[in-house]
Structure 1
Amino acid sequence: MGKGLKVVTIGGGSSYTPELVEGFIKRHRELPVSELWLVDIEDGKEKLEIVGNLAKRMVNKSGVDMKIHLTLDRKEALEGADFVTTQLRVGLLDARIKDERIPLSHGVIGQETNGAGGLFKALRTIPVIFDILNDVEKYCPNAWVINFTNPTGIISEAVFRYTKFKKYIGLCNVPIHLKNDIAKLFNSDSNRISMDFAGLNHMVYGLNVFLDGEDVTKEAISRFVTSDVTMQNIKAIEFNSDFIKSLGVIPCPYHRYYYKTKEMLEDEIKEFKEGKCRGEVVKELEKELFELYKDKNLDTKPSQLEKRGGAYYSDAACNLISSIYNDKKDIQVVNTLNNGAIRDFKDDQAVEISSIITKNGPKPLSIGYLPESVHGLVSQIKSFELLAAKAAVTGDYNAALLALCINPLIPSDELAKTILDEMLKAHKEYLPQFRK
C-alpha cells in the first residue's frame, strides 16, 4: 500500500467538510490519508479558514497522522493528488435562493436539483467542473474525481458526453440514506440490509430489498408507505399507500416533487411568501453552523450539521474512496456510465446504479429493464438531463428551453420561456457560455 494518500477537496469551505473529515478519521487504518487539502475561492476564504481550523482540531483530537492544508490555489493543491472530491456551489447560496424564488414567483416548483432550479444549477456548475477536470489532467492525471456537487446526474452526463475524462464518479447520499431508513423500519442494523438501486440521480428507485439475504421487498414497501421516510431538506408529505404498492418499488424522497407536485408546490408557495424557501433556511442554518465551528473548544462534528441535509455524506464518499483504494469489490450506488446495466438507456448515458467498486472504478450491475411503472418518468428526466448538459456546455438557448419544456415540473412552453429568460438574466454573471 506504500505511502499515505493525498486527497483534495474543492469547495473545502463547505459546511459539509466536517462530515468528510470525520469519515477519513474513522477509516484511517484502511484509508491512510496523510494529506487533506481543502481548497476554496476568494469569496469562501473566511469559511475555509473557520472549517479548516475545526478540521485541524478534529484531527488533533483523533491522533491520526493526517495533515490539513488550506489554500485558495487549486493548482498547488492538486499537484500529485490521489483523489479529488468536489462539493462546490457556483454563486453560493444567493444563487440557490434565486433558483427557488424565481420559479415560485411564477407558481412553479423551485428546487435546487429539480425543474428550473436544477437546470440553472447545472448551467452554472458544469463549466467550472470542466475547468477542474482540465487541471486534474495537468497536475494529477492518475487521480480519481469524486463529484458530490449537485445536480450530480446532469454533471455526470456532461462529463461522460463532452469530455474524455475517464476517472470520474458522481456520488449522492440519497441511496445510502434510503437504505439506512429502510433498515430502521425493520429495527435492523444497516449492514443486514441490501438493496438494488437503479435510475437517475434524485430519480433513483429501490428495486429489491433483502434482510440477511432474504427477499423482503413487499414487506419493505408496506412498511415504507406507513412511515415518514424523507430527508432534512424535503418535507415528509405522505405518499398514497395504494399508489406506492402498485408502483412495486421504493421511491426516493425527491420523487415527491413528481408524485406529489400539487402538495409540494402548495407548501413551497407558503414558505416563499414567508421568506422561508429552503435556500433562505439553509443560509440561516449555515450562519449558526459556522458560529459553532468558530468555537476553539469544538473538536468534533456538531450534531446540528444533520439539519443541513447531508446525512451519511462521509459514509458515501469515504466508503467509495476506500473501496477504490483497497479494490474491495463491494457494492455501492454511484453515477456512472450505463454500459448496458439498464436496458432502457444507451450504453453511453449516465445512470445511478448499484455497482461493484474496484480499483479500476465502478462496474454497474445489470438489472435489465426498469419496471414499466417507472420507465416513462425516468426516461422523461433523462431527456431533460441530456438537453441540460448540452445547454451547459454549448450555451445553446434552444436546448435550455427544450429542456424546461420537457421537464414535468414546468406546465407550459410559454411559462418555460418566461422563467428561462428571467433566470438567464438573474444568473448572467455565472453563465458566460450564454453571453453571445
Structure 2
Amino acid sequence: MKKFSIVVAGGGSTFTPGIVLMLLDNLDRFPIRQIKFYDNNEERQKQVADACEILLKEKAPEINFVATTDPETAFTDVDFVMAHIRVGLYAMREKDEKIPLKYGVVGQETCGPGGIAYGMRSIGGVLEILDYMEKYSPDAWMLNYSNPAAIVAEATRKLRPNSKIINICDMPVGIEERMARAVGLNSRKDMVVRYYGLNHFGWWTDIRDKEGNDLMPKIKEHVAQYGYSLQNEIEESQHLDESWMHTFAKAREVYAVDPDTLPNTYLKYYFYPQDEVAHSNPDYTRANEVMAGREKHVFGECNAIAARGNTEGTTLEIDEHASYIVDLARAIAYNTHERMLLIVPNNGAIVNFDETAMVEVPCIVGSNGPEPLTQGKIPQFQKGLMEQQVSVEKLVVEAWVEGSYQKLWQALTLSRIVPNARVAKQLLDDLIEANQEFWPELN
C-alpha cells in the first residue's frame, strides 16, 4: 500500500500540532511515510517542529520528519501540500480587526475590510507555495485552507487556472457537527447535505440522514430556538471562547431572515454589522483572544515538550475538526468519490449565477479532483447578496494584479459591512499604511 509524503506549509502555525496529531490518528486510513514542515519564519516554526519531532518519534517513529525554510527541500518528493499560512501573523490580524473598528465598522478576520486587507497579503503567499509545488512536485495536490479562502480561491482561479489546488474551509464542517448533535446523530457524516454560497457566505437547503429522512424541520426548530448553540454547552464552554458562544447563539437571528434555509454563521457580519460592532471591544479583539489563548497555550506546550524531551502529560489536542483534510486527501489518492463541500469555479453548479464565481457547493471528489453537484437556481435574496459579495472578491484580486488603488476602494465601497465610499477611502488609506511591507504598491 502506498504511503504518502506531505508538506505542511505554515509549519509554525498554532494549528500545526493539532493537524499532526489528527494525521497520526488517521494513519490506518491514510498511511504516511514522510511529514515535512515549511515556513519562512524559522524561529516560530522551530518551536512547533521540535515538539512535533518528539511526538512523531513516540507515536510513529517510521515516519521521516523534516522541518525547513528551504523551498526545494520542502516541496521535493511530496504528494500533498497542506497549506495554512498567515501572512503577517496575528500582529497583522490585530490591525485588520482594530482599524475598521475605529470607524465603527466590523473588524473581522475574513469579512469586510479586515478580510480584504488579509486577502491582499495572502494572495502572494499562496501563489508562491503553489509555484514551489508545481516546480518541485508537479504531480502533487495542494489542499489549501489558508484564509481568506474566498479571495485566495478567486486569485488562484484567475492566475493559476490549471493548478492542482483545492480550496477548503472547516466552518461548514463545524456547523454540521453541531447540527448532527442537535438532532441526536453521532457525526455530520451521518448526514447528506445540499448547500450553496461563497466561502463564509452560504446556506444549507436540504439535510437528510443516510436513510433519506428529512432532518431540516428538526434542525430548524433547534436553530429557531438556540441558534447553533447546544444545550449542554453552557457547562462545557471552557473549550469555546466567549466570542464563539455569541456567534453560535446569533445564528438564531440570521436564520430568521430566511427560514427556508439554514445559514452559515458568518452571515451575521453582513446582516447585523452594527450589533457586531457594539459587541466588540476595540482594544481587545479576537486576535488578542487568540494570542492570549491558543497561541500562548500551543507554544507553551511545544516548548515544554522540547525541554522535557517527551510528550507526557501534554494538553495538545487532536484537531478532530481537521479530519476533513484527510477525507479530501484520501478521496484524491484512492478515488473514493467522497461527497464534500469545496470552493470551486461555478461553471453552472448554480444555474443563475456568474460562471466564473468561486462558489462553495457539494462536490464528489475522486482522483481528478472535485466534480461539483448542481444546486439549480437560487432565490433572488441569496443571489443579490452573493453577486455583491463575489464582486468584492473579484475587485480585490483585480486590485492586487493591477496594483489599482481605485479598484480596492471600489471593493471596500461595495462591501455590505462598509457604510459609504468616504469611510471606505479612509479605511483604505489606513490599511495601506499598516500593510506597507505586505501589499503590492497601489497606484
**Fold similarity call, TM over 0.5:** yes
Q: CA 1:226/1:58 → structure 2, altered by over 3 Å: closer, same or farther?
A: farther
SS of the counterpart of 1:145? strand
Partner of 1:256: 268
Distance 1:242 1:276 in 2: 25
Distance 1:394 1:313 in 2: 37
Q: CA 1:240/1:177 → structure 2, altered by over 3 Å: closer, same or farther?
A: closer
State whether residues 122 and 392 of structure 1, in contact with CA within 8 Å, keep that contact through their aligned partners in structure 2: no
1:293 aligns with 2:329: no
State whether residues 18 and 301 of structure 1, in contact with CA within 8 Å, keep that contact through their aligned partners in structure 2: no
Matches within 5 A, 1:117-196: 117-190=114-187, 191-196=189-194
Partner of 1:282: 290
Match of 2:204 among 203, 206, 214: 206
Partner of 1:390: 398
Q: What per-residue deviation string (whole Å, max 9, x for no partner) do you get for residues 335-393 of structure 1?
A: 11222111232333211111101111000110112233422212211111111111122
Distance 1:301 1:313 in 2: 19
RMSD of Structure 2 on Structure 1 (CA): 2.1
Distance 2:115 2:383 in 1: 21
Q: Which amino acid aligns with 2:203?
A: Y
State whether residues 179 and 194 of structure 1, in contact with CA within 8 Å, keep that contact through their aligned partners in structure 2: no
State whether residues 390 and 396 of structure 1, in contact with CA within 8 Å, keep that contact through their aligned partners in structure 2: yes
State whether residues 247 and 373 of structure 1, in contact with CA within 8 Å, keep that contact through their aligned partners in structure 2: no
Partner of 1:7: 6
1:24 aligns with 2:36: no
Shift of 1:239: 4.2
SS of the counterpart of 1:253? coil
State whether residues 255 and 263 of structure 2, in contact with CA within 8 Å, keep that contact through their aligned partners in structure 1: no
Q: CA 1:243/1:205 → structure 2, altered by over 3 Å: closer, same or farther?
A: closer
How many residues end up aligned between the 2 structures? 423
Distance 2:160 2:88 in 1: 24
Q: CA 1:222/1:83 → structure 2, altered by over 3 Å: closer, same or farther?
A: same
Percent identity over the alignment? Answer: 27
Partner of 2:429: 421
Distance 1:347 1:428 in 2: 34
Distance 1:123 1:151 in 2: 10
Distance 1:329 1:198 in 2: 19
Q: CA 1:301/1:351 → structure 2, altered by over 3 Å: closer, same or farther?
A: farther
SS of the counterpart of 1:247? coil
Partner of 2:67: 70
Q: CA 1:40/1:239 → structure 2, altered by over 3 Å: closer, same or farther?
A: closer
Partner of 1:244: 256
Shift of 1:299: 5.8
Partner of 2:350: 342
Partner of 2:232: none
State whether residues 5 and 34 of structure 1, in contact with CA within 8 Å, keep that contact through their aligned partners in structure 2: yes
Shift of 1:194: 2.2
Distance 1:64 1:406 in 2: 52
Q: Which amino acid aligns with 1:117?
A: G
SS of the counterpart of 1:340? coil
Structure 1: unaligned runs, 5 residues or longer? none
Shift of 1:292: 1.6
Q: CA 1:317/1:330 → structure 2, altered by over 3 Å: closer, same or farther?
A: same
Residues 212-221 or 231-240, more deviating: 231-240
Q: CA 1:378/1:247 → structure 2, altered by over 3 Å: closer, same or farther?
A: farther
SS of the counterpart of 2:250? coil
Q: Which amino acid aligns with 1:163?
A: R
Q: Which amino acid aligns with 2:439?
A: L
Shift of 1:46: 2.8
Matches within 5 A, 1:25-44: 25-41=24-40, 44=41
Shift of 1:300: 8.2
Partner of 1:361: 369
State whether residues 22 and 314 of structure 1, in contact with CA within 8 Å, keep that contact through their aligned partners in structure 2: no
Q: Which amino acid aligns with 1:259?
A: F
SS of the counterpart of 2:196? strand
Q: What per-residue deviation string (whole Å, max 9, x for no partner) do you get for residues 135-183 of structure 1?
A: 2221111111111110001110111112233311101101111110000
SS of the counterpart of 1:165? coil
Partner of 2:236: none
Distance 2:344 2:33 in 1: 28
- Normalising by structure 1, what TM-score? 0.92
Match of 1:404 among 375, 391, 412: 412
Residues 369-378 or 224-233, more deviating: 224-233
SS of the counterpart of 1:432? coil
1:58 aligns with 2:55: yes
Q: What per-residue deviation string (whole Å, max 9, x for no partner) do you get for residues 175-204 of structure 1?
A: 111110000101211132222221111002
Distance 2:89 2:369 in 1: 31
State whether residues 22 and 320 of structure 2, in contact with CA within 8 Å, keep that contact through their aligned partners in structure 1: no
Matches within 5 A, 1:226-237: 226-229=225-228, 232=241, 234=244, 235-236=246-247, 237=249
- Normalising by structure 2, what TM-score? 0.90
SS of the counterpart of 1:428? coil
Q: Which amino acid aligns with 1:16?
A: F
State whether residues 334 and 354 of structure 1, in contact with CA within 8 Å, keep that contact through their aligned partners in structure 2: yes
Residues 243-252 or 420-429, more deviating: 243-252
